[in-house]
Amino acid sequence: MQKTDGMNYAPQGSFQTVCQPGEFVFAAAALDHGHIYGMCNGLREAGGELKWVYDPDPAKVDKFLSTYPGVRAASSLEEILGDAEVKLVAAAAIPSDRGPLGLRVMDSGKDYFTDKAPFTTLEQLEAAKAKVAETGQKYAVYYSERLHVESAIYAGQLIEQGAIGRVHQVIGLGPHRISLSSRPDWFFEKEKFGGILCDIGSHQIEQFLYFTGAKDAKVVHSKVANYNYPQYPNFEDFGDATLVGDNGATGYFRVDWMTPDGLSTWGDGRMTILGSEGYIELRKYVDIAREQTSNHVYLVNKDGEQHFAVSGQVGYPYFGQLILDCLNRTEVAMTQEHAFKAAELCLIAQRDAMIITSAE
């Protein structure tokens, strides 16, 4: 697994299949972000059969085929959409293209699984809502910083078990390494990546809703800045926001592209979850200056102080649940309402953000 660059974060777990061979056939398309590998890993480990790949860039396809031997290269997206065996299309397109691609996939009678952020405008979100209602297909979203992080999954299990009582606040820190030389041109064009709160902020908002159990929230305040990259005037390397859930829970998060080169991984992602009877701290990717291992969970409650190192212990249940949801038309992995609400709130936070001008 790539540790230095979050763009290529693609965890691998054990194979715990939920379906019979050939029962859940899926395809990959639009290989613009490295998260497509994590998405495909998760589905394959849960029993999905990866049949096709398509991208207009032959180099991206060749790299993909070297990772997944035996997959067929489609001559066009239409070849995938016309294959009746394919039940789902996984895609990591340029963010501004993700919504329109999802409409095409759902129109073909297939479910859609996109990298986050799923949209760059509220108009795209409304179009997707309408298409889901029209077709009955799923618009699933890869919010990887919870779904593909064992410490975050374990925190959810602790909360469900009542380990810290009712959750009142979530504080999330989502720093990322920019890895400037490896970024494509679209990464710096706001109309294509949507802005920092729309992009990596979507992870944080999804986790706030999930851990607090809120169905909706108000963005009380948000702000963005470009502190370090004047050569890219439309880029944002800092953002934060404060939210209040419909159940009274509060949240604050900060995201940035400022991870220093001396850190052993791509970002020191952390989260503190405060409950009525204790709190949980997650050190997702590293425990700096102590352990370069990932997935550290710290729990403090009436029973005392506990530390859990959960890498390789929890697994990634989302992917198997998603496969079964697609096969059975259920909503166990994540409700459509939740996926769309997280998207809506990150778009609102981005739209209403105060723009900070850095003083020289």
CA dihedral defined by 117, 6, 171, 120, rounded to 10 degrees? Answer: -20
The number of helix segments (H) and strand segments (E) in the chain equals 11, 15
- Going by C-alpha positions, the residue among 267, 100, 99, 95 that lies closest to residue 178 is 267
Tell whether 189 is covered by a domain.
Answer: yes
Tell whether 275 is covered by a domain.
Answer: yes
pLDDT of the residue at 139? 99
pLDDT of the residue at 8? 66
pLDDT of the residue at 124? 98
Tell whether 335 is covered by a domain.
Answer: no
Query: Domain containing 233 — which CATH number?
Result: 3.30.360.10
pLDDT along the chain (360 residues), means of 10: 58 84 98 97 98 98 98 98 98 98 98 98 98 98 98 98 98 97 95 97 98 98 97 96 98 98 96 98 96 94 97 96 98 98 98 85
pTM of the model: 0.95
Q: At what angle do helices 122-135 and 95-107 cross, to 10 degrees?
A: 10
Tell whether 284 is covered by a domain.
Answer: yes
> What's the domain count of the chain?
1
For the chain, what's the residue count? 360
Tell whether 83 is covered by a domain.
Answer: no
Tell whether 58 is covered by a domain.
Answer: no
Beta partners for residue 141, in sequence order = 114
pLDDT of the residue at 348? 98
- Give the DSSP letter of residue 117: P
Tell whether 80 is covered by a domain.
Answer: no
Tell whether 165 is covered by a domain.
Answer: yes
| Separation of alpha carbons 31 and 162, rounded Å | 40
List Cα–Cα distances, 300 to 85, 159, 162, 270, 278, in angstroms. Answer: 49, 12, 12, 16, 5
Backbone angles phi, psi at 355, to 5 degrees: -95, 120
Structural domain including 294 reads 146-316+347-355
